[in-house]
Structure 1
Amino acid sequence: MNKKGKVLMAMSGGIDSTVAALMLHKEGYEVVGITMKTWDYASSGGTKSNKETGCCNIDSFNDARAAAVEHGFPHYILDIRDEFGDFVIDNFVEEYLAGRTPNPCVMCNTHIKWRALLKRADALGCDFIATGHYAQIHQHNNGRYFIRKGIDETKDQSYVLWGLQQDLLSRTLLPLGTYHKTAIRQMAHDFGYPELAKKNESYEICFVPDNDYRGFLKRRVEGLEERVDGGNFVDTKGNILGKHKGYPFYTIGQRKGLDIALGKPAFVTAIDPDTNTVVLGEEEDLKGSEMKVAKINWIKYDGISDGMEVLTKIRYKDKGALSNLFATPNGVSVRFYEDVKGIAPGQSAVFYEGDDVIGGGIIQRVEQHLG
């Protein structure tokens, strides 16, 4: 066995995972490449279903395989469409139908992608699994493994990895966490793949390649449009303002595409699926001071002490806000030092101690709005 160990490298065919694989290969690991097929674009029915979208298409599969073959390590294609669809897509649809805003990338990482990789790593006799995420994994002196932000703040992906459990973290390598994207682009050139540095990156949900989640829901749920059309827009006091196209087609904080004229900017501040009601208010009405978070996964520590101060991020590109955590029977209550705008049930709340992720969970509800 190679003295560095054997690693199963998830390769999408893009610049990040390709460079990560070649880095590990150069460092002396025995690399096995694997590309996961999660979804058939043609079956999505979207307007970009046959275009390059960054992963899960034949061109990306071929790019990943070509890099592996050229550098002398094996490559496999892993079909996880059944595993992916049953959980990630069903959860995506169910959350919108419950009036919440899901984050399918977090769900995929937490419940599907890493578990699928580890299962195949064990079957292939691999010591580690690796991905091209911009984050770091360290081991605390308490023995627990935890995630640390990638040093490139513009690319940091620690937010989407909060759900990984200890058995996964202990066997995961993230080669790109200590590099900036500019350095990775240069490495692509140095490895002889200048075209990778020019390849478009995908920021879309992989199974919604045209970025139209509303269209996806309509195609996925038979009769949805007719079922939810014609609900009421109401103001924060319950006064009817007009009709909307159906509560699943709106998200907290949304301003554009409301198709209603009120003479002033209006924002979606709440969604009630039971009554098919969408509440519109002013930007100030989006602010909240406390929220409940459930489905917690603690990483750096095995729990918290009441009142622990953390920086809480409520969305991927959020800068975070100082807060205190308090244990509840079903998770934690997060109390912010200052009002936070746009807290959306269904999204992830991730708790940081400096650059270290101590844990995260799913936002359940906002407890208090301050005017």
Structure 2
Amino acid sequence: MKASIHARSRADGTTAYRVRWRADGKQVIQTFDALGAAEVFRHNVEKWGPAKAYELAGVSDVAESAGAYTVTDAAKHHVDHLTGIEPGTIAQYRRYIANDLGPLANLPLIAVEVTTISAWVQWLETERKNRGKTIANKHGWLFAVFARAVSEKRIPKNPCEGTKLPDMTPEDEPVFLTRAEFDLIHSTITPHWRPLTLWLVATGMRISEATALRVGDIDPRQKTARVSRAWKAKRGEARLGGPKSKAGRRTVDIPDRALAVIDLDRPADQWLFVNTVGSRVTYEAYYKRWYAARLKHKIACSPHDLRHTCASWMIAAGIPLPVIQQHLGHESILVTVGTYGHLDRSSKRAAAAAIGHVLS
């Protein structure tokens, strides 16, 4: 890659030194106040590439590129144009922009490479002290930012593809219960709470979705449940809102055994699941019973792991990941593949068999 330096006089009488190079057919400009800094930067661009040149220069030592469309610009543009997302999720994304872009924030979008993303992941781990799951969440969001930039033809490819992320800590890892483990917990939990426990593993719903269902959301003839609400926590108070994302609004097919444990002979506006006094189910009330049951059998898992377990049982039965994505209400197939792809041995065996057939 070739780069050049051009001096330009400013209105105040000082001189600006502009390093120019071309990336993917577009001219990129980085401005410096000192010729020496510009020379070093030009040399590093030619020897190591733009991303490493920025890294060596240090973001704080580099003036903002003239007219450059930065990672921050792309992130704000992405968040501003999201639809069907809960306000709380949007607020979280804006916090990512403010606090978590770090060394990426002021880089021209076109200068970001795979190694730049790797350095950012290291920064999250060492400077922000983020754990594996948190880093995976932030990386997934940034992947979507760059994916939009690719679709808008601002950059040729997504630099987040193929990033090696830190391993999750044991408490971050999803737990996939065996049928025997589930049966132990299900048979031990207080009888009043067994229908909800079976429903969660049978449908893969989030507990915030299942406990927001009303009797009228169930169609026993079609054997479906319409998910259109979920409980949200705001300042310690619960409120009803939409599901986690647009894809979370979905119609879920219900197995016969799950239909058999619910009482539909009630007014349509009543909660499908209620506590022992007939009021709505809170997470705290359910978790108290769940914790006692799983502790008795020394099985380390959370109620959310029933959702993971549902997915793992589907995969074991040969259900394709895109179908599971729709069933669980994942916004992106990347979430489904990233969480459960390693369990899908049948698809991998089929892929290997297909290549073997070509070679035979």
Q: Give the TM-score normalised by the residue count of structure 2.
A: 0.27
Whose relative contact order is higher, 1 or 2, with alpha carbons under 8 Å and at least 6 apart? 1
Name whichever structure is richer in helix by fraction: 2
Query: Larger Cα Rg: Structure 1 or Structure 2?
Result: 2
Name whichever structure is richer in strand by fraction: 1
